[in-house]
Structure 1
């Protein structure tokens, strides 16, 4: 067999073995790269490159080396799950860089972090002033986690005392112009409903690249032709506006009438409608 053919075969085989070893190590190797994972990844890659090009070397010797470098991290991972002390030694601990808006210079030096690097990491978290940061920690994977002070945190429905319904996963009902029956059934809808909604938007199924329906039954489409603008569904906005208009009309009727009985009836209706509006507001104004 020619040398170039041997290199090709060994490279393909090494790639297959490397892929299997990576899958064996799991997703943590990719998402949480600590010091040990970094060393293991480099070494396994070097061994894979070595057994690909070293024609005189025995292929299985390289595979055995890759297997050892895979099993050792797995053993440490298992021990880490069993022992907090092993986990602390193996993964390390986070380092507090900012506390109560104060930069901890000693911790910065221990982590070998410069002030420029700290400010850069803060900017990545949309914190352009260190005084706006309540707490910042250098995690074991080298990323900086940031918690802003209370007054600088974005508003959420919870902070405003609003209860929001659970968000349901949007279902892709059309992909590449083809109707997806399983997601459509998961959303509790039919092809007839989908056809009616497309008619409302004035688009044909074959012109739709992607279409999704959310948990509220609203359909959003993307067409093959990006120059064509499709109207966005507005049933909830229309219903919300109608309810508020009815509420305003009833209040106006209550103020305009001199009949005590009618005024009382209007006021009672306004109170009932306000209660309904408050209940449906999270669903209609999202």
Structure 2
């Protein structure tokens, strides 16, 4: 076999082996690398290159070394899952850097972190004042997480004692011009419902690059034609206008009747309608 062809075959073989082994190691090897996992990734890549380019008869030793590295990495991962002491020994322990608005200089020295680097990380979290920080900790992967003190935290419905409905995941129902049945089923919707929404917008699925439905059943679309703005559905404003008309009709009925009981009933219904409109206005006028 020519040497150039042998290199191609070895490279393809190394790619397949590397793909299978990285699938075995899992997503964490990519998304949450510890220091050891970082070294493991570099070593595995180097061994794969050795398998591809070493054209002598010992190339299979590179494959054995690759298997050993992966086996050791998997063993360490399982050990860390089972034992807290193993996790603390193998990975770097989390370190508190700021507590009650005070920088802990000794912990900064342990992490070899300068004040400039700390302030830079705080600015990435939109924090520009150390005194505003209740708690800042450097995680085992080097990321710094920050908790602001209570008076500087963003206001949420929970702070106001307001109960809100849980937000469901927004699902893609059209992708690359094709309707996706599984997300529609998960939302308890049908193709007929989707087609009706698209007809109101004057669109076909083939025109849509991405279509999403949120937890309120609202359809938003992104078209292939980037310069064309898709029309917006007017169902909410129309519903608000209909409810306003009902409220006006109730007031008119109250003024036109001479029956005291009926007049009181219409007035009460009108007041209830006004209260309901005040509640729904933020949701129906956008």
Taking only aligned residues, the RMSD between alpha carbons, in angstroms, comes to 3.4
C-alpha change, 1:176 and 1:28, in structure 2 (3 Å) is closer
Q: 1:282 to 1:228 in 2, by over 3 A?
A: closer
TM-superposition CA deviations, 1:109-163 (whole Å, max 9, x none): 1101111111111121111222222211111011111112222222222223222
Q: Which residue of 2 aligns with 1:61?
A: 61
* Residue 74 (structure 1) shift: 1.6
Q: What CA distance in whole angstroms lies between the structure 2 residues aligned with 1:82 and 1:131?
A: 39
Q: Which residue of 1 aligns with 2:153?
A: 153
Answer yes or no: is the 8 Å Cα contact 1:165–1:283 preserved in 2: no
Change (3 A) 1:42 1:205: closer
The CA deviation at 1:4 is 1.9
Aligned to 2:269: 269
Secondary structure, aligned partner of 1:55: coil
197-206 vs 231-240, greater mean Cα deviation: 231-240
Paired position in structure 2 for 1:102: 102
After the TM superposition, which of the residue ranges 236-245 and 12-21 deviates more from structure 2?
Answer: 236-245
C-alpha deviation, 1:217, in angstroms: 2.1
Of 261-270 and 40-49, the range deviating more from structure 2: 261-270
Asked if the contact 1:51–1:59 (Cα under 8 Å) also holds between the matched residues in 2, the reply is yes
Unpaired runs of 5+ in structure 2?
Answer: none
User: Partner of 2:207 in structure 1?
Assistant: 207
Q: SS at the partner of 1:173?
A: strand
What does residue 86 of structure 2 align with?
A: 86
Q: Which residue of 2 aligns with 1:51?
A: 51
CA–CA distance in structure 1, aligned partners of residues 283 and 59 of structure 2: 62
Relative to structure 1, the CA distance from residue 250 to residue 132 in structure 2 (aligned partners, 3 Å threshold; closer, same or farther) is farther
Q: Secondary structure at the match of 1:212?
A: strand
- Is the aligned partner of 1:77 residue 2:95? no
Structure 1, unaligned runs of 5 or more: none
TM-score in terms of structure 1 length: 0.83
Q: State the shift of 1:248 in Å.
A: 9.7
Measured after TM superposition, the shift of residue 262 of structure 1 is: 7.8
Counterpart-to-counterpart distance in 2, 1:13 and 1:191:
44
Alignment of 1:103-252 (within 5 A): 103-239=103-239
Q: What SS does structure 1 have at the residue aligned with 2:147?
A: strand
Structure 2 distance, partners of 1:266, 1:138, is: 64
Q: CA deviation at 1:243?
A: 5.4
* 1:274 shift after superposition: 6.6
Superposition deviation, residue 204 in structure 1? 3.7
